[in-house]
Structure formats: structure tokens, C-alpha cells
Structure 1
Amino acid sequence: MALARPSVSRRGILIGALAGGGLAVGYLLRPHRFPLPLEPGRDEYAFGAWIKIAADGVVSVAVPQVEMGQGVTTLLPQIVAQELGADWRQVAVEPAPVSALYANTVLAAKWAPLWMPFASDLAGAPEGMIARRWAEDHRFNVTADGTSVAAYEGPARAAAASARALLVQAAAARWNVAPEACDVAAGLVTHGEKRLNFGPLAREAAGFSPPDPPPLRPEPMAEKPGEFVPGAPLRYPRLDLPSKVDGSWTFAGDVRLPDMLRAAIRHAPLGKASVSGYDGNAGKGLRGFARFVQGPDWVAALAQDWWTAETALTRAAPRFRVARGSDSGEIDTALDEAMAHGSPTRIHLAGDKAAVEGAMPVQIRYEVAPGLHASIETACATARYNGGRLELWIGTQAPEAARSAAAEALGIHTGDIVLYPMPIGGSFDRRLECAHAAQVAVLAKEAGRPVQLTVSRRQEHFATFPRTPAVAVMAARPDPEGRPMAWRARIAAPATAREFGRRFFSGDAPFDALDAVAEADDRMAVEGAIPAYAVPNLAVDHIPAAIGLPTARMRGNAHGYTAFFNESFVDELAHRAGREPLSFRMAMLGHDPRLAECLQRAASLAQWGGGGDNSGQGLACHVIGEARIAVVAGARRDENGVRVDKLSAVADIGRIVNLDVARQQIEGGLVFGLGVALGCSASYAGGRPDGERLSDLALPTLADCPAIEVEFIDSTADPADPGEIGVAAVAPAVANALYSATGLRFRRLPLFAEDM
């Protein structure tokens, strides 16, 4: 699954830099020219890599990030439309092919420790040349970590500003007026009473030379929280909404090709496993059955329809030889051993080192079980192999990694693979893994016909690498008023981010990656563990734990458990001191007025009553990058278990590009976080999770969803991602609310894992 390597390796770059810099400088400064990724069609004219304008005035915007519900096919076109002055009713979207012109340099810089683990600081700046050149060379168009706006707003605005200037030049030449005397708005170029649609000007405009630098509008795209009263029409409604409502939006499972076979699959348990056998005659007598295909650790059946293929596999009863499986008991033991005897690596230290050493008056243990993804759409891909070339229709967050996985499986070059990017029905970072790209490629080659592989829900869960389990011991030394003068977080967890990096960037097999980083420290595995509060003496330690279970990324990633540790702990400190939880937090936020305002506004929105007297209210807040959120949960326990009645959230995500999309993302994150709090986990035995269906994960149904209120702080800070910040604070808010309602502390996720 490794990304294709450039002709100059990163090791060579570093050696050249150490030897005097000649090789590195030559590599970085060599000219780069890339072909235009989107060819204009009939009566269309391209304006760089981002925009095409047709003779009828329709503006097509390239979107190099996969749409998986986060609204990127609205956000980037909206940025272009505002800068260009286009009519939103004439804006269309075109999924962009893999291209160096769409390199996600922001994510490349953020993930530099994963692809350049030594001296990663050299590549840690998104605007730096090392990250940019690496991202271009690897056609790094990955969608992850909410980086779409940060990575692409600048290039998209510049392209739109250049196109606007060219349209103005074309109109001004027609009217024999100065370009400065023309204006552009609502899809029209105007001068006094004269006006022209973009369409008639596109051909002439494409012949002019673009200005350098592009003449950007004074203000970037922004929507204010108070602009839209409830029920008011949206200025930029989602472009994908109508087709999703009427069912015409095409996902990977909707692809249909002539003479196409369907495939079902059985995966080996998570472990070092291989196929030991199956009944090869099981498909006989099944109408439409074609054949079985065996992979290194999977068996697939091909048939005219998926149900026949699935039935054949059930009858074939594939068997697997597992040399090293994963068991929950062993996982728990490994985490306990790491916490008791492991060697911690200090990830962060502030203040006096001596103040955070040794035993402290308050020490509390928290635990998090492995978390399973529960995306709406299971893995699905279609492939057609002919004459040494592969066509691949797939929903993936990492298109070049998918091409590389398929190419490696077939023994061909990535240049011989054409990937058609498809939207995804939910992902939560599950589609960063590309095993199904390799599998469907092999199936298409073996069949000699197009093949569509659809993974069942049961097999999706069996093949999923879960979010890592973790154990934390939180320690504090309070002052006489109960505020922590010293705070130490020790978190035992595998080096999950480095493990993912080995699979993703180096192509390691899952257990090879696991073994390679077994003793490694991992800053990303404890991201978010630095509390938002002003604590004079603070330490965060990571203790690597070899748990024997491959782990992966998930929505919220480490913030999904570090926020639970921090906000549960600070709530316990407040109650131990006899302090009201809101004022206790506010007293430590003088350095962060943005988060303090979120807390105050959330308390007002929820009519916060102090969290005492069995009110059933709980409070939590968290920071991810420049995004901030405060959540108040109203929860109770009844005969059916935990009932969360209300979630009130206030977020500061900086400048908001699209208020409606931001609200959807925060609301979706809150519901996802509720799923993490109450379920979404599994126990493992022999490498198999015990959850086979969505119903086994105790996810909240529509009937379980609480009333949700979301408000935003009006901010001029740079835009921050709303997609993950909502996830982090829900679990601790619910746990704190349950303490208020019942007097019981829940220190393990999911919360129902403890006796209630």
C-alpha cells in the first residue's frame, strides 16, 4: 500500500543535506512542470488546474478531496464562486484526478514524522519547500485531518482571482474600456449598463496571460453566525444535497460495467494468518456462480450477483491458519504491564521537572477500549483489467495509495492505473487503508472481466483495524483551593500513528508495522493530552505498549480519548475541592479567552445549574489546533441504560466558510462522539471482534439522539476544521453528567463497559 517513491529517496535528500546540501538543494530547486489534470470538453475552456468555464456560462470547479459527507464539494466551489464572482446556480463540481498540482502540503507537513521520522522538523512547515516537493512527487492528495480548506483555499482563490481578471480583460477589450472600470458579480461582467455572461467571454479570456500576482478580493469567503435566522434561505446550499436526496448521487457500489461480476470476500482474523483451505466445489449448482479466488489471507467468490457469491463463500467455509491472533485479555494485560513497568517518554514538559515526579496526592486511572468504525458504506470497489492496464472505481481518502496498492498486487506500474474517485458514504479515516483496492485488482485480472467487490458488514468489522485502546493514569498536586499546581498524564498505548505510517508510507504488512514500532514513542498517539488549562507544572508521558493488535486512525483520533482523560480528571478535581465545575475551569483559562467564551456561552445555552444536586448536567471542553468547543450534556440513567437528553455546544472554529456545513459537522461529530461514549467498541478473541453488525455496537439510533443545540463564536481567526472537534468533548461531558445524576464515576470508554 506504500505510496510510490520518487527517483530521489528521502534518505538521499538527508544525506545530501548533511554532506553540504548540494543534492538536497538541487532536488528542491529543480523545475517542476505538471500536465493539466482536467482536460476541457467541447466548448469548455480551462483556467489552470481548478476552473473550467463552458460556453453556456457553467463554471466547473475541480475538487481534489473526496466527498465523504464533510461538504468539501460545496466548500471549495463556494470559495471559488465568491472569489470569481460566479452565479452559484451555475457552479458545478468535477472530482479531480490524482495530480501533483493538488498536493496537500498542509497534511504532508503535519504527517512529516510518519514519512520522514528522522529530522521531521525540517519538513514541518506547510509553506516549506521540503514538504511541498515531497507532496508533489508523491501526488499526495490525501483527505484527512480536516485540512481541505487550509490546504486548498489559497490555490483555489488564486485560480479564481486570475480567471476573474482574464474575464474582465476579455470584456474590457470588447467594450474598449479600461479593465479597472469593470465589475464582476453573479456570473456577469459589467460596465455601466453593459453586461456579459461568463460563457461568451470564456474563449477570449483563455487567450490572455494571467496576472501575477492574482488580484484577490480584499476579504476571503466568510459567513457570520448571526447572518442566518432559523428558516432563512441559504446563500450557498450544498451542491451534493439534491442528488443525495433523490438517490442519483453515485457511490462506488452504484458503478455498473458491461459483463461485470460481483465478488464477496472472507478475511482471515487479525493476526499473522494464511488460508488453510476451503471447499472448492461449494459453488457447483449455484446459478450464476463463476469461481473462487484465493489471496494470501482471504478467499473471494465471483458470481453474477453478490448474494450468489456470498452464498458460495458460506458453503465453502474458508479456513485460516492463525499463527498470531489478537485477544482482549492479552491486550489488557499488555497495557497494564506497560503502565506498571514500561519506559515512559516525556512528550511535553512545562515548569519544574521535580514538581511532576514521584507520587502525587491525586492519582486516577482511566481506560479506553478499542473503537470500531461504523461507516454507512462498507468497502466497495470496481476494477477492469485489460492489456496490462487497470481502471479502478473506488472511494478512498488516499487515491495514490490506492493506485500503489493495486499496482503492487498486479506487478504493474502506477502509471498503468486509472483511478476514478468516487464519493464515500462516511469514512472516519477508515478509507485511508486500501487493501480492497489490491483485492479487487487481483479479482479483475483473474476473472478477465470487470469485477465489483462489496465487503459485507461482518467482514468490514473483521478486517477493520480499530482505534487504539489506551490506559491513562492522571496525577495532580492541588493547591489549598484545589487547583492543580502540578499535573502529570501518563498514557499507555501502542505507537498507533507510527504504526499507521509504516503501513501507509512504507508498505509494511500489518504485523511487520506493529513489530517495527513496538518500542517507539509516538507524539501523535497522545495528541490532545496537554490540557487547555494554565497549570504551572505539567508533564505528558507516552508509554509504548505492545498489544499485539494492529490499530489505525479514527474520527477524532487521539483527541477522542485524551479529552476524556483530561475533562473527566479536571471534573474530579473540582468535586474533590468542593468547587463548582464551571468556575473551577474558568479560573484556569485566563490565557485562553476564546475557550473561556465557549464555556460561558455553552453554560448559558444549556441553562447550566452547577452540575450538582442530581441535575444530570455535565460539562467538558477541548481544543484541537485552533478549534475550540464546550459541551454541556444532560444525561440520566433509566431502566434501559443511559439516556442522554440534550447536548448543548458552542464552538469557535475561526472564520466560517459555510455556516450550514459547519453546523452539520459539529452536530455529526456530537452524535459520533455519543456513539464512542456509549458503544462503538469490540472485544477480540483469536483476532476476531465480537461485533458483527451495526446493532452489536450499541450505536445511538435516531430515537436515541438527544436534542442538540449548536452555536458559534463570531471569529476572525483562520478557519479551523469543524469535523472532529465535536467528537472529543462528548464522552467526558456525558460521564460528568452521569456523575451528577448518579454519584458514580465512569472511568472507562465505552461507559456501559462498567457495571451501572
Structure 2
Amino acid sequence: MQVTRRGLVTGAAVGGGLLVAWWFLPRNYANPLEPASGEHLFGAWIKIAEDGVVSVAVPQLEMGQGVTTLIPQIVAQELGADWRQVAVEPAPVASAYPNVPLAERWAELWDPVSVGVSETTDDMLAQRFARAQRFTATADGTSLAAYEAPAREAAAAARAMLALEAADRWGVAWEECQVVSGIVSHGDKSATFGELAGGAADQSPPDPPPLRPEAPSDNPPPGSLPDDVSAIPQFPRIDLPSKVDGSYRFAADVRLPGMVYAAIRHGPNNGSELTGFNEAAAEGISGIVGAVRHKRWLAVAATTWWSAQRALEAMAPQFTVSYPVDSADIEARIETLLRSGDSYLVAETGFGEEGMTRVDTARRYDVEPAHAAPVETASAAARWSGGRLELWIASQAPEQARKAAAKAVGISPEDVALYPMPAGGSFDARLEHEHAIEIAHIAKELGRPVQLTWPRRDELIRSRPRAPAGVLIGAQLAEGGQGSIDAMRVRVACQPSSHEFGRRLFGNLIPSAAIRDTTGQKDELALEGAVPPYDLPSVSVHHVPVETGYPAGRVRGNAHQVSAFAIESFIDEVAAENNREPLSYRMSMLGGDIRLAACLQRAASMAEWDGGVNQSGQGLACHRIGDAETGARIACVATARRGEGGVRVARLSAAVDIGRIVNIDIARQQIEGGLMFGIGIALGNALRMRGGLPASFDYADLGLPRLADCPEIDVDFLPSEAAPADPGELGTVVAPPAIANALFSATGLRLRRLPLLSSGL
């Protein structure tokens, strides 16, 4: 079957599940990729068809962040392809695509015993783990770090093979051939990729592959004005046309012959069990195919999803809750342990603990749990036949989802074919794979193709929110006034949410078991960003483990949401107490991070910063995600006011340094989207629990920003030759403290809890 560009762009069912490998991997990884008619293989990343279409395999989940444009763009620029001839297909879950940087970052989650022996050993273990476990997870902004280099090398090898084929035909040196815009040329001779593909695929690529001297870049030139957002981007998103016309396929769009539709009802999040339901109450509803009962849920399948949902409502499933959780109980635990609980020292700089001999000023900040709340609820399609399972699903960790589904129905992971589908949004929610387990059970029980879609109620019930936290910050100020900080101590009370998440992802534990397994553990990942980017003589960070009884997970921004809000609010407070102007006060402490200082200056200039004087409504914040060498940086000035309709954010001005930019249009989208996400975190409604259930199941009650709430947003990127860094979470974490500081400027009220209005004004 000939695979068309439209087929490649709009669906995974055509190309999903293909297992591929390429020359630069160890020989024991086979290359079973089967090209369509007229296509020729160029390793694990590239296929070139005789009509000239270059298909690029992408091993990361497309969830709105544009990765299915970024990686093909890298290949196109290195290969010398015309962007109009480039298509994309989801890469299979395979050892050819290890996400080694993420495996290194999460090493203590999958191997807490061996990690930390030595840097060399950790690198080796991460390499081995990522390949052996087919670890291709999409998270923590590691797509470029993990895949830019191998994608470039594969494209460079393919370019050389095309040049070798042309050179053989023309009797010239292949190094003298030019490869530009999908054409190989030498003097007056030229040939298209399609004309050369068949012979080029049999050429032996040079080792190492001949990379172009310039890495893919879309950086603004030094001294340039912000990009004209109305200009046509050089590399427009590949997925944009199909998303506009509605042909882009998500897991909920999969249709299989004879497929039925399943709805599901869950009990409270932690440790609930199904005790009964009224099966007879659904007898009058047409189209019911069957019900599947599990220890912790009840599903009904029907010829339409609405019939299945109506049947569930009529059957009124009942659950027992062994550990009902209320928000008031969680807050009381955090309150008690933050003040007096045992803690672990997780980080220190400079003189560390010894540098702080007194506390001159201290403040407490609280952060409520937050949902990822993607608009698209969990959905998957499955087909069970002959002891094998086919699974169509959007997953940020597809191999872990595949293994969990296999274990659930008692088969080998090799008997599960997982077809990667894009997500309409995730914000880390699709790192969880509970719905993969559920649909595996349902498909096997019914013995026919089925699609499972969670209703909004169950998406909120089974959500793993970002953990709540209490943060206590104390500072020792330099003698002589001016508010200079000599030492800072940060104490964070929160559950070890990263380890809890790791037990679910890598250990396949249910939430209650993961909580029991991690209670009392030190969790450095749960405190990321708690070491400020400022030059301070002494900093120490302590983790106070708290068992809340409610499962926690990952949400866009993760721990940096907590740390950025607390640190930047505290810095603003110290400046105000000591009559220091907020911008110059921060600048005086940023001698060790010139790039972040430049972001601050640029954001202040963009917003026409007035010093944050009383009633101005301007507030600023800055943050760095990652280390001083490779981290991403952002500074933001917010203009916010309290009005008759509540708090209104009128403007956000952000200056960003993410190193070398591969696609500035996508980077801008990520920052703008992150800032809007941050407005939701800052001004949305708090997630409250009663008896282990959310107090509301209404999506509207989350208080997420609407179109009318969108402020004027200005984003500028600072030119940089540093390694690329991810922009996806920067806006999310910097917006809340900038807005909080703006509200202080406007009203004189210091809001120390997220969401900012959770306790009212």
C-alpha cells in the first residue's frame, strides 16, 4: 500500500507499530522497517519515496508542543530537503530511540539503589536502561536533548548516500555534490531525491556522518527587533492544516470494524473498591453490549458512548473508601510537619547550613494541588484477538503503558502492539497509564474492538494533581541594612510525589501501594528549583516528607511551580521591607547569571517598568529551569489590577533565553501557552477534596482562563549560542509570582497562597 503524505500526517494507524533501527546503533538491534511501495529506507529515522516525499519518524508524543515539526525540521535542514516534501509518522516503541537524558534525570525513580555511584556509572546505566526498556518517554523538555543529535546524524548519512549515488551516476566526487531543497546537483547536472532514492538506499554511509557546520537554528539576529508575528514562518507546523480542517486523528477518532464504545465509573482516587451496582436499572437502555466489573471500577460498553454512559448512571455503582481524604486534613498535616517535622537536607550552596546563624526575616507560602486538566479526557481504542492486544493510545511513556496493559491481561508485552496517537493536550497527565490497563481488561472480556473514553467526572476523580506544599523561607540579612541576603534556608513540606509517580510508572503499582512504598522518603525531584538563581553566600534546602493520603503526580511546571512562586514572592517581600526597588535588587544578586540578568533588563524595558511603585499594578519575577550552563531562563513583568469582575491581568511582558532556537514560531507558542497556563494556576480555583473526591466535577469550576481573560502578551527571545533549552514550562512557572507581585503593587495586599484568590482578597 502506498502511504500518502496525508496519511502520514493525519494518523498513526498506517505507520504506527513499525519497529526500526539504524546503522549507528549496536548490531543486535534489527531493522525490521517495511517500506510502502515506492519507498526506500534510510535508517530508523528517514524514508524517501520515489515521488520525493521524505518521511521522518518521530519518537515523541505530539501533544500540542510541536515536536512533530521540530524533529522533521532538524532532519530537513541537515538533509537538504524542501520543507514542502517533508511528512511525519509516529516512530514505534523501539530500542532505536532511547531518551537517555530523561533516563539520567529520572534515574533515582527506576533504580534508586545504583544511582549516584559515579557519573560514569550513572551514564552507562542510563544508556543501558533506556535501550533495554525502550524508554522513549516525552517529558521534562528533553526532546531536543535526546533526539536532535541522532536525527541530524541520520539525515547527514542519508544526504551523503544521495550524493554518493549521484556521484556514481555522473562520475564525480560525492563531496563536490550540493544537496539543497530536495535536489542533488553538480555543475549543470541535477537529480531529485525521488530519482536517486532507490540506488541511494543501497549506498554505504560514511562513518562518522558528515554533519553540516551549522546546527539547525531559527535564532533572531543580535540587536534585532522582536519578530513580526504576522510573518509567514519559515517552517510552518506540519500538523496545522489537518488540525484546522479536523482531519487530524486522536485516540478518540479511531474507528475499527465492529467497534463498541465504553464508558467507565471510578471510585475515589485512593484505595476505593467497587461494592455493588444495580444491573437491572440499565435493562431499558438500547444498544448495551455488556458490562465489565473490576475491583476498582465498572465499565459498560454499548453501540454508542452516550448509551453506555446512561447505563452507568442508571446502574449507580457504589464504592467503599478505605482512606477518605479531605483538603482540611491535608492542610493540617502540612501545617504540623512544616513547623516541626523531621527533614532531609537535599541541597546546599556556599557555606550551606553553617552560613546561617540567625533568622532576620521569614515568610510562609502555600501551594494547593493543581490538575493538569487537559481538555481531551483519557481515551484509547483496543482490539483483542488470538491472545494478542492491539492498542491505540496517546501516551507520554508508551513502553510503560504497553507493559502495564500486557500484565493486566496476562500476556507478554511482545503480544501487545501499541500504535502511538497524538494527544490534544497532556501537561504530563498522559504519563499515567491507568486507562491502558482498563481498556485491555474490557477488550479481552468483550472479545471485540472497543473504545474507552473517560467522562470529565472520572478524569477529575482519577487525576494525579501536582502535590500541595507548604514552604517556609528564612533569611539572614547583611549587617548595615540595604536588605542584602547573607544566607537563606528553604524548608518545603510536601509528599515525595516524584518517587510516588516513579513507583506507578516503572513499578506498575496502584496509587495506594505507591503511597505506602514512598512514605517518609527524601525526594529531591519534588523540590526542583528551590535553590535560587541568585548569588547568595549561603543556601540550604530541606525536604519535609508529608503523607497526604492522596495520590500526586506531574503537572506542567511540576516542582518549579512551587519553588518559583515561593522564591520570587519572598525576594519581592525582602526588597519591599528594605525599601529596595525590585528590579535593581534582583540585578544586584545576579552577577553569576548574566543571561538571566539580561532577561530581567529586557523584560523591564518591554513593559516600561516603573519601579513597581504603589498602585502601579506592575510586578516582576524571573526563574531558571536547569543548571547555570544549560538552563532555560525567563523574566516576566505582569500588569494586573483588581476590578469589579475580579482580578484582571492586562499585560504580560516576557524576555526569554532558551539558547539556540530551532523554531522560533513554536518557541513563541510554547511561551505564550505557558503564560496562559500560569494565569490559570495563579487565578483559577483551588482543587478541594471531600471524602477522597473533588468537591466539584464541573470543568468550568476549575476557573481556567477564557478567551476574554487573555491579556496582551509580549515575548522576546534573547540571541544565544548556548545549547537549546526547552521553553514549554517557563511561562507556566514565572506567571504566578509575577502576577502576585503585581497585585501587591496594585493593592498593597501580599498573597502567599496559590491559587492567589483561594482565600479571597
Shorter-normalised TM range: over 0.9
State the partner residue of 2:605: 604
CA distance in 2, matches of 1:313, 1:633: 46
Q: Establish whether residue 687 from structure 1 lines up as the match of residue 692 from structure 2.
A: yes
Letter in 1 for 2:509: D
1:65 aligns with one of 60, 82, 86: 60
Q: Establish whether residue 515 from structure 1 lines up as the match of residue 516 from structure 2.
A: yes
* Pairs within 5 Å for 1:164-563: 164-226=159-221, 228-353=227-352, 355=354, 357=356, 360-479=359-478, 480-563=481-564
CA distance in 1, matches of 2:37, 2:673: 40
* Pairs within 5 Å for 1:630-709: 630-679=635-684, 681-709=686-714
Decide which moves more: 338-347 or 299-308.
Answer: 338-347
SS of alignment partner, residue 28 of structure 2 = coil
SS of alignment partner, residue 590 of structure 2 = coil
SS of alignment partner, residue 102 of structure 1 = coil
Letter in 1 for 2:495: P
State the partner residue of 2:632: 627
Shift in Å at residue 278 of structure 1?
A: 0.3
SS of alignment partner, residue 752 of structure 1 = coil
State the partner residue of 1:156: 151
CA distance in 1, matches of 2:657, 2:78: 24
CA distance in 1, matches of 2:69, 2:343: 44
SS of alignment partner, residue 324 of structure 1 = coil
Letter in 1 for 2:551: P
Shift in Å at residue 180 of structure 1?
A: 1.9
State the partner residue of 1:9: none
Q: Establish whether residue 116 from structure 1 lines up as the match of residue 111 from structure 2.
A: yes
Shift in Å at residue 637 of structure 1?
A: 0.6
CA distance in 1, matches of 2:342, 2:104: 29
Q: Cα gap change, 1:376/1:102 in structure 2, threshold over 3 Å: closer, same or farther?
A: same
* Pairs within 5 Å for 1:46-57: 46-57=41-52
8 Å CA contact 1:614–1:742 kept in 2: the answer is: yes
Letter in 2 for 1:410: V
CA distance in 2, matches of 1:250, 1:241: 12
* Pairs within 5 Å for 1:11-50: 33-36=28-31, 38-50=33-45
Shift in Å at residue 219 of structure 1?
A: 0.8
8 Å CA contact 2:116–2:122 kept in 1: the answer is: no
Letter in 1 for 2:109: L
SS of alignment partner, residue 146 of structure 1 = coil
CA distance in 2, matches of 1:348, 1:85: 46
Decide which moves more: 595-604 or 348-357.
Answer: 348-357
CA distance in 2, matches of 1:702, 1:359: 48
Decide which moves more: 336-345 or 529-538.
Answer: 336-345
2:744 aligns with one of 733, 739, 745: 739
Q: Cα gap change, 1:250/1:123 in structure 2, threshold over 3 Å: closer, same or farther?
A: farther
Decide which moves more: 697-706 or 687-696.
Answer: 687-696
* Per-residue Cα deviation, 1:258-302 (whole angstroms, up to 9, x for no partner): 111101111110121110100111221111112221112101111
8 Å CA contact 2:356–2:487 kept in 1: the answer is: no
SS of alignment partner, residue 539 of structure 1 = strand
CA distance in 2, matches of 1:37, 1:677: 49
CA distance in 2, matches of 1:533, 1:516: 36
Letter in 2 for 1:107: L
Letter in 2 for 1:753: S
Residues paired across the two proteins, number: 727
**Sequence identity percentage:** 54
Shift in Å at residue 232 of structure 1?
A: 2.2
CA distance in 1, matches of 2:403, 2:246: 32
State the partner residue of 2:5: none
* Per-residue Cα deviation, 1:560-585 (whole angstroms, up to 9, x for no partner): 11000000000000000001000000
List, as ranges, runs of 4+ consecutive aligned residues in structure 1 with deviation greater than 6 Å.
none
* Per-residue Cα deviation, 1:213-239 (whole angstroms, up to 9, x for no partner): 000000110012258534222111100
8 Å CA contact 2:357–2:476 kept in 1: the answer is: no
Letter in 1 for 2:512: F
CA distance in 1, matches of 2:473, 2:425: 34
8 Å CA contact 1:379–1:436 kept in 2: the answer is: yes
SS of alignment partner, residue 729 of structure 1 = helix
Q: Cα gap change, 1:122/1:87 in structure 2, threshold over 3 Å: closer, same or farther?
A: farther
8 Å CA contact 1:372–1:680 kept in 2: the answer is: no
8 Å CA contact 1:366–1:473 kept in 2: the answer is: yes
CA distance in 2, matches of 1:189, 1:541: 59
Normalising by structure 1, we get a TM-score of 0.95
* Per-residue Cα deviation, 1:135-190 (whole angstroms, up to 9, x for no partner): 11100011001101110000000000000000000001111111122100000000
Shift in Å at residue 341 of structure 1?
A: 2.2
Q: Establish whether residue 77 from structure 1 lines up as the match of residue 76 from structure 2.
A: no
8 Å CA contact 1:109–1:125 kept in 2: the answer is: no
Shift in Å at residue 359 of structure 1?
A: 5.1
SS of alignment partner, residue 436 of structure 1 = helix
* Per-residue Cα deviation, 1:540-570 (whole angstroms, up to 9, x for no partner): 1111111111100110000011000000000
* Pairs within 5 Å for 1:570-585: 570-585=571-586
CA distance in 1, matches of 2:148, 2:77: 12
SS of alignment partner, residue 452 of structure 1 = strand
SS of alignment partner, residue 281 of structure 1 = helix
State the partner residue of 1:16: none
CA distance in 2, matches of 1:559, 1:271: 26
State the partner residue of 2:758: 753
8 Å CA contact 1:518–1:545 kept in 2: the answer is: yes
Q: Cα gap change, 1:354/1:300 in structure 2, threshold over 3 Å: closer, same or farther?
A: closer
Q: Cα gap change, 1:177/1:252 in structure 2, threshold over 3 Å: closer, same or farther?
A: same
CA distance in 2, matches of 1:484, 1:216: 48
**Alignment gaps of 5+ in structure 1:** 1-29
8 Å CA contact 2:485–2:536 kept in 1: the answer is: yes
8 Å CA contact 1:123–1:131 kept in 2: the answer is: no
Normalising by structure 2, we get a TM-score of 0.94
8 Å CA contact 1:270–1:325 kept in 2: the answer is: no
Decide which moves more: 122-131 or 330-339.
Answer: 122-131
State the partner residue of 1:587: 588
CA distance in 1, matches of 2:758, 2:75: 48
**Alignment gaps of 5+ in structure 2:** 1-24
CA distance in 2, matches of 1:603, 1:38: 53
CA distance in 2, matches of 1:230, 1:515: 50
CA distance in 2, matches of 1:31, 1:186: 32
Letter in 2 for 1:113: E
State the partner residue of 2:734: 729
CA distance in 1, matches of 2:608, 2:726: 27
CA distance in 2, matches of 1:41, 1:243: 22
CA distance in 1, matches of 2:289, 2:110: 42
Letter in 1 for 2:157: S
CA distance in 1, matches of 2:137, 2:682: 28
Shift in Å at residue 425 of structure 1?
A: 0.6
Shift in Å at residue 381 of structure 1?
A: 0.3
Q: Establish whether residue 104 from structure 1 lines up as the match of residue 105 from structure 2.
A: no
Shift in Å at residue 121 of structure 1?
A: 2.4
SS of alignment partner, residue 121 of structure 1 = coil
Letter in 2 for 1:546: E
